[in-house]
Structure 1
Amino acid sequence: MDILACIKRVPDIAGTVALDDTGTGIDDSGLGHTMSSHEECAVELAIGTASATGGTVTVLTVGPAEAVEQLRAAVAVGANDGILIETAEADAFAPEDIAQVIGDVVRDRAEAGQTFDLVLLGNDAADTGDFQVGIRLAYDLGYPVLSNIQSFTPGADGLEARGIGPAGTEVFSLDLPAVIAVQEGGVDPRYPSITGRMKAKKAPIVEYDAPEPGTGSPRIRLELPEVEQSSVTILGEGPEAAPALVDVLEEIGVIRP
């Protein structure tokens, strides 16, 4: 099974998050970069499935030249090659634009003789959280689509996919070719080996210039939630704090007076 896994270069927001001057994006000037956790799981599922079925994994991203770092990170854990659709203004692309770009690549590769049985994406990106690209891509390609999927098993006629819904685990049967938006939690992404890192440095990365976005970003402004202030009350020290502790436990209902 040949799989296309789509990833995105996003800021590593483990630290303090600040908005850029436009207020529509994250100021990443002082941040490192990575791929979204959903997409790490999508890459893991792609590699495991391709290995079990004798297929290949191609990773694709739309972003700046530096995004080749994320492509090579995916190759280091088992992907075969990468595609960089280069643009210095990735934030100018709406989900519809990104879906169109990916769809064009799928069609171009099919015309050249390479067809993808499955296209995987993260359920949403860590920076924008649009939740739209997978659905729009499936519509553009005319493929069936599933979202919020955590794992799947290939079969003779398609896939059996599992995800978490309002009532618990949901199981779906899906014909191929198809699009799946992956949610983290179903698999553990692997870590690259030294051999994988060496392989990634030499892996083929095909580069294209991104077209002009047809729709453009609809984002007006992002807002950071206010930081909740917390306070600490010191009840005392040693045995002398016991009465005050008992009072607090009685107040919150843990013990009865």
Structure 2
Amino acid sequence: MASINVLVCVKRAADVTGEVVLNADGTGLDGRYSGYAMSPHETAAVEIAVSLVEESGGSVTVLTLGDDDAVEQLRDALAVGADDAVHVEADSSAFGPTDVAAAIAEVVRARAASGTAYDLVLVGNDAADTGSFQVGIRLAYLLDRPVVAGVQQIAVSDGVATLHVGSAAGTETYEVGLPAVATVLEGGVDPRYPSIRGRMRAKKAPVEAVTPEVTPRGSGTLGLSLPPPTPNKVTVLGEGPGAAPAVVEVLRKIGVLS
């Protein structure tokens, strides 16, 4: 089995597993209280890439576009097995999906020119904070490569990638020649946890900083809104021993008591 080089693109975004809060002007998510992280799609993409290279040899590069704080997510990926990292220094809020795809394409071409060609480029199926679903498709178009979306598992053999996509009807399987692009959906693999040794290595690992030549046009987003909170209805059954009959009646209604 020939070795492969994989590029995984990740994004520093507000952690949406907790309460979602908008920033002051309503144009994006505010992670000051929830913290920041890679999306589950991207952690799955890192796991797929590291597993592929463990089997076949090669290298895993992780890339992010953002400010200096975004290096934290690069080091998270380095801690679980990525070999090197690229930080595209830019204001991510000014970059729309088209701009991000163009910046990634610049890195792919520059690396190829210097001798490191990427057989696979993996991105999250959608960004956790914008949900645009566009970067992977636009990147594949710019690189003139085949793309498969919603991938959960990948195998590579003899220059061909076999990609498994989960759907309501079952699992769909696609075979594409390399090089290719895939957008990864969580659920197909179990991302590993970093070891202490991995964290120490990640702290010392160099991160290549590059400045994109792209002039960003932005996403065109005018603003975001949050749905109203789900109303909660509370019924007071009573106080003290006098509430006992009402409690018994509720238990009968839900089938706990006959």
Identity %: 47
TM-score in terms of structure 2 length: 0.91
The aligned runs of 1:186-201 (5 Å cut-off) are 186-201=188-203
Give the equivalent residue in structure 1 for 2:93: 91
Q: Which amino acid aligns with 1:222?
A: L
Q: 1:16 aligns with which of 19, 23, 26?
A: 19
User: Structure 2: where are the runs of 5+ without partners?
Assistant: none
Q: Which amino acid aligns with 2:49?
A: A
TM-score in terms of structure 1 length: 0.91
Equivalent pairs, count: 250
Give the equivalent residue in structure 1 for 2:139: 137
What CA deviation, in whole Å up to 9, does each residue of 1:89-144 have, x standing for no partner? 21111100000000011011111111000000100111111100000000000000
Give the equivalent residue in structure 2 for 1:28: 31
Q: 1:75 aligns with which of 78, 83, 94?
A: 78
Residues 218 and 234 from structure 1, CA distance in 2 versus in 1: closer, same or farther, beyond 3 angstroms? Answer: same
Give structure 1 regions of 4+ aligned residues with deviation exceeding 6 angstroms: none
The aligned runs of 1:227-238 (5 Å cut-off) are 227-233=229-235, 238=244
| RMSD of Structure 2 on Structure 1 (CA) | 2.0
The aligned runs of 1:1-257 (5 Å cut-off) are 1-87=4-90, 89-233=91-235, 238=244, 241-246=247-252, 248-249=253-254
User: Structure 1: where are the runs of 5+ without partners?
Assistant: none
Residues 60 and 234 from structure 1, CA distance in 2 versus in 1: closer, same or farther, beyond 3 angstroms? Answer: same
Quote the offset at 1:27 in angstroms.
2.2
Distance in 1 of aligned mates of 2:245 and 2:119:
68
**Contact 1:119–1:178 (Cα < 8 Å) also in 2:** yes
Q: Equivalent residue of 2:108, what SS?
A: helix
Quote the offset at 1:213 in angstroms.
3.3
Quote the offset at 1:238 in angstroms.
5.0
**Contact 2:102–2:214 (Cα < 8 Å) also in 1:** no
Distance in 1 of aligned mates of 2:47 and 2:212:
26
Q: Equivalent residue of 1:56, what SS?
A: strand
Residues 244 and 120 from structure 1, CA distance in 2 versus in 1: closer, same or farther, beyond 3 angstroms? Answer: closer
